[in-house]
Chain A
Amino acid sequence: MNLKDYIESGIIESYVMGLATESERAEFERLCAQYPELVAARRKFEESIEASAKEQALPTPPEVKVKIFEAIGKNAPSSLGSTSSNPPNIPSMQNSKNPVRGSGMLRFVAAAAIILLIGMVWLYFQAKQRNQDLVRENDGLKTQRDTAQNILNRIVQEQKQAIGDPNTTVVNMVGTKAAPRSSANVYWDSASSSVYLVVKNMPQLPNDQQYQLWALIDGKPNDLGVFDATNDKLILKMKDTKKAQAFAITIEKRGGSSSPTLEKMQSMGKATQTQ
């Protein structure tokens, strides 16, 4: 394939603007993983669209932002710390009309009462502010909890799907000489072609490198996608494959390579049917 012709075919623009068909999108994404020049050209067009859209920005209806933040269960951030916009409403005392006569004691009592009143008002707003802070904090924690719960549910769901299925082949990947301690499990569902990877022990890589999973089909390696050895994902969904006699993991440059660097092979496992 001539990459230059492909870049100039209008596919980038169709893809970015959401006008490409499903198969065009899939092909484009696959080629992007392979050719950094294609990604660079896509990025350039995206930047020009973004610049043009920002130049043409219209003023938005002011109530929309408030409604959005209400809908997602939080206060708009612009209202944070802006209590000064509604200052405490302290009624002014009208003493001058009827000047208090004579008694210094009465004046003292009046002054004390005013001071007391101001003090109470201050305490009241202080407490109110504190209360608002707590409510906001509580909301934030709730959202965080819900998000964490959702992520957990999704992981559990994926795992059930991948591991519980009778069509799933479990491939235990063991370390090679280059990396004797590396280990991971591949769950390959031969019915749906889905491939999941559970990282058990893969050392952290420098930022410019990633692990890449390969399916060996009739002796030829096929890319199943790249991954990082971080702990935050328990189970990774890799690219589908219909066939595979074995799986292998290599270390490649970030973004992956089109063919594996075999001397960097980290682990390997045979996809023999266990069921």
Chain B
Amino acid sequence: MSTQVATAEAGFLARVSRFSPPRRYLPVLGTFALFIGMFGVGGIRYDGFADPQVFLTLLLDNGFLIVLAVGMTFVILTGGIDLSVGSNVALSTLIAARTLEVGWPVAAVIGVVLLSGTLLGTAMGLLIHYFDIQPFIATLAGMFLARGLCYLISVESIPIEDGTFKTIAFGSITLPGGYYLGWTAVFALAVVAVAAYVLSSTRFGRTVYALGGSESSALLMGLPVAATKVGVYAISGLCAALGGLLFALYTLSGYSLHAVGMELDAIAAVVIGGTLLTGGRGFVVGSLLGVLVLGTIQTFISFDGTLSSWWTRISIGVLVLVFVVAQRVLTRR
């Protein structure tokens, strides 16, 4: 009996030690390990860091960035880039704040914000696909356009006083053990789940990967290249609008100087999440982890107190470098 158990155990151990995850999961696992490691170190060094509520607050504080990073993941998977998302967030907060100010119903406000964001993304996608304008330039134009529209709406910050918005902003789910998770965080996680489903299990999602693998092959395979390429920018626009709504809930204001440079954080999160900037490889879950890593760095610095805030940027830069070089080495093989 005991020998049998022992062999079974040995077999299990052997299987565990032999188990090697497919290469494509390596970057995501790396990010996951990094995140766990950082949390572990934080837990050892600082009191209260290991408290689950710290993690839950991390989700709440970065909900909008998670949604942005999800949209950016679609774009980057096709080998493109979207610089407009930060401005798009600011524009969304302003549209929401202004329309609420003049008394629109909440549903209409949300509708018009989502529509405008998606339209901006679609327009850029059309420029990119049908006129061969490089994504970098087309979305740069989108970035300027959205920022300019912000100033047209209002130069000053507009506070959001609407009751429904406030309820959503402060609402949370109580978890066992007295912990709580903000509604906006729940919403962001839902977006991640939907995106993960779309990318892994729909034809559109698989075509996104195919485009990133080789656009000319995708065309020759008869896949819907045009619709997909325009589609990812539309999705990124939609996500930016969603992110804008979450940001408006987070700050309860609309302001033209909101989210300056947030596109960089989104891109960095996607890269740190293990998505290849050349396209074709990566997962939204990775981007979620990437955002969490960025958030943890900030939590680290705020817990420490002696570290200055600029270390956030430097460490993000170093992480981007490490991931980019590692990917270069992995793909060169």
| A in complex with B | no
